[in-house]
Homo-oligomer: A and B are copies of this chain.
């Protein structure tokens, strides 16, 4: 039996992709998988992941149905973006003695806007002697961890800007829908107003940066605007006629006394010609970083969650954020390393 046993809790596209990657890591054993979807319960994981070696593991409805005897127990939790919804799940998992790495966006930095939840999570983590972190590519890496790391080069900072430009054609269908692709302007506006079209996590990233720099922000303002197709656009899943919504332009700005200190900007739409990640730090010295071609969000989130396993099992019990863990690094099994 391997030292680390992992349960995948939530088998949406990201959960499936994580399970696949976990199955390739030499020091990790997949001990089980949980989902509430009746179509998935009872299915062997091999069907959901395409990995034959996972045929003996069947999806269960409840965590308690899983037999796990590994010395170190980790749950990868990928079910929802909002703490209010996932709190009972986190509590159940922690009470069963699992470390938790979660893609829940609000968990990535809950100490500002969800202090009550944060304290409760920290309490049940400490009580069960396990560690919990919320992470992913964004929030969790590109717009916070990486930005904060780069500020380590600076003596003075007056403003931080971070911009992601993504070609949504490369992403899965739920992502394309989440950014409003194919909607009319009216439909987009309604969904944006109701909050159903919105990337969750900007506020968490901004607070994480601000706290790292001891900036006491007065406010964070978010705006969500559509990007309109200037010609007919196509993805593997959708065709968007000229004049309809190609994607999203979302901005969040953190201010002190009306002066803008942190600006995060996400542009994700079909046909974005120059996908990239940018971090600009106005200060001394000035830093202008770019990742050419950008980083595919689904692949990146899968990586970061799996790569966080060694960090979280070595950390002291409690609720962590990427800010207090050691620097990220890739977890390469022997197969991957050469």
Which residues of A line the B interface, CB within 8 A? 21, 24, 137, 141, 145-146, 148-158, 212-215, 256, 259, 261, 283-293, 295-296, 299-300, 302-304, 306-307, 322-330, 332, 336-338
Given contacts A256-B338, A336-B155, contact A327 B149 (CB under 8 A): yes
Say whether B152 contacts A328, CB under 8 Å. yes
In the complex, what's the smallest C-beta–C-beta distance from A329 to chain B, in angstroms? Answer: 4
Say whether B327 contacts A323, CB under 8 Å. yes
With A141-B153, A152-B328, A285-B300 already in contact, 10 other A-B pairs whose C-beta atoms are closer than 8 Å: A145-B152, A145-B327, A146-B149, A151-B307, A153-B304, A153-B330, A155-B299, A155-B302, A286-B293, A288-B292
A289 vs B277: C-alpha distance when bound (angstroms): 9
Partner of A290, one of B292, B300, B322: B292
**Contact partners of A337 in chain B: CB under 8 A:** 157, 213-215
Given contacts A214-B332, A289-B289, contact A299 B327 (CB under 8 A): no
Say whether A326 contacts B329, CB under 8 Å. no
Q: List 25 A-B contacts (CB under 8 A).
A: A141-B153, A145-B149, A145-B327, A146-B149, A146-B150, A148-B327, A149-B149, A151-B307, A151-B330, A152-B328, A153-B304, A154-B303, A155-B336, A156-B332, A157-B332, A157-B337, A214-B332, A259-B338, A261-B338, A286-B293, A287-B291, A288-B293, A289-B289, A323-B326, A325-B326
A-side interface mostly: mixed
A261 vs B299: C-alpha distance when bound (angstroms): 22
**Contact partners of A213 in chain B: CB under 8 A:** 329-330, 332, 337
Given contacts A213-B337, A336-B157, A338-B256, contact A152 B284 (CB under 8 A): no
**Contact partners of A148 in chain B: CB under 8 A:** 327-329
**Contact partners of A289 in chain B: CB under 8 A:** 289-292
Say whether B304 contacts A152, CB under 8 Å. yes
Q: List the B residue with the shortest CB-CB distance to A212.
A: B329
A119 vs B296: C-alpha distance when bound (angstroms): 42
Partner of A326, one of B215, B300, B306, B326: B326
Q: List the B residue with the shortest CB-CB distance to A140.
A: B152
Number of identical monomers bound together in the oligomeric complex? 2
**Contact partners of A330 in chain B: CB under 8 A:** 151-155, 157, 212-213, 283
A6 vs B296: C-alpha distance when bound (angstroms): 44
Partner of A303, one of B149, B153, B296: B153
Say whether A158 contacts B338, CB under 8 Å. yes
A261 vs B332: C-alpha distance when bound (angstroms): 13
Residue of A155, A214, A291 with highest tally of chain B CB at under 10 A? A155
In the complex, what's the smallest C-beta–C-beta distance from A204 to chain B, in angstroms? Answer: 16
**Contact partners of A286 in chain B: CB under 8 A:** 293
Say whether A295 contacts B153, CB under 8 Å. yes
A274 vs B304: C-alpha distance when bound (angstroms): 32
**Contact partners of A336 in chain B: CB under 8 A:** 155-157
A299 vs B154: C-alpha distance when bound (angstroms): 8
A307 vs B151: C-alpha distance when bound (angstroms): 9
A213 vs B157: C-alpha distance when bound (angstroms): 32
